[in-house]
Amino acid sequence: MTPIETLGTDHLDLTVNDLERSIAFYDKVLGALGFRRLDNASYVAWHSAHMGIGLRPATAAATFDRYRVGFHHLALRVKHRDDVDRFHRFLVEERITVLDPPADYPEYGPDYRAVFFADPDGLKLEIVHFPWGYWRRVLTDGRDDRPRSAPK
C-alpha cells in the first residue's frame, strides 16, 4: 500500500475521574492557550486551529500512572520560547501543580525548552518550544545523531 500522509493530531480524548473538576481545570489551562470550549451531548471539548482535546468521564475511578500501558503525557508546542516561561507564571498564579519548572532539555533537541505540570488526575502535561527546523532536518534525513539516554 502507498503510505497515507497524516497532517497532525486532530483530537485527543482524555478520560477523567471527576468531570466537573477537570472541566474547570481545562477551561483555565486551555483557555490560556487560546482553545475554545465546545460542549456536546456526550463530552466536552476544546479546539484550537490545530487540534481538539476532549474530556470523558471514567466508568470507574482510577489512579493515573503514566508508566503503565497507555497515555504517558501530552506536550503542546508554543510558538515563542518565552511563552514557556509566561505559561509557567500563569501556572504558579493559578496554583496549578508544576512538576518541573521551565528548563532547557538539550537531550530532546537543540533549544528545547519546556515546563511540565499535572492535571487534577495527575496526567502529565507539557508546554514546549523548540525550533522546528531541527526536527524537519531529522525527519528529512531520517536520523537523529544526538546521544540519547535511556527513556524516562
Mean pLDDT, rounded, for 22-38: 97
Residue 83 in any domain: the answer is yes
> Over pLDDT 70: what percentage of the chain?
86
End-to-end CA distance of the chain: 35
- Residue-level pLDDT at 29: 98
Domain count, the chain: 2
pLDDT-based confidence at 150, cuts 50/70/90?
A: low
Which has the closest alpha carbon to 48: 19, 26, 68, 72?
26
What's the pLDDT tens digit per position in 44-92?
A: 999 999 999 999 999 998 898 889 888 899 999 999 999 999 999 999 9
pLDDT-based confidence at 133, cuts 50/70/90?
A: low
Residue 67 in any domain: the answer is no
Which phi and psi angles does 26 have, rounded to 5°?
Answer: -70, -30
Which range marks the domain in which residue 34 is found?
A: 10-58
Q: Which residues, listed in sequence order, are joined to residue 114 by a DSSP beta bridge?
A: 103, 128
| Same-domain pairing of 38 and 79 | no
What is the average pLDDT score of the chain?
89
- Residue-level pLDDT at 57: 92
Output the CA angle 67-48-77, nearest 5 degrees.
50
| Same-domain pairing of 104 and 127 | yes
A 10 A CB-CB count for 130 gives: 21
Secondary structure class of 100 (helix, strand, coil): strand
Cα 10 to Cα 53: distance, rounded to the nearest angstrom: 9
| Same-domain pairing of 86 and 34 | no
Q: Is residue 137 scored above 70 in pLDDT?
A: no
| Same-domain pairing of 42 and 97 | no
- CATH number of the domain where residue 127 is located: 3.10.180.10
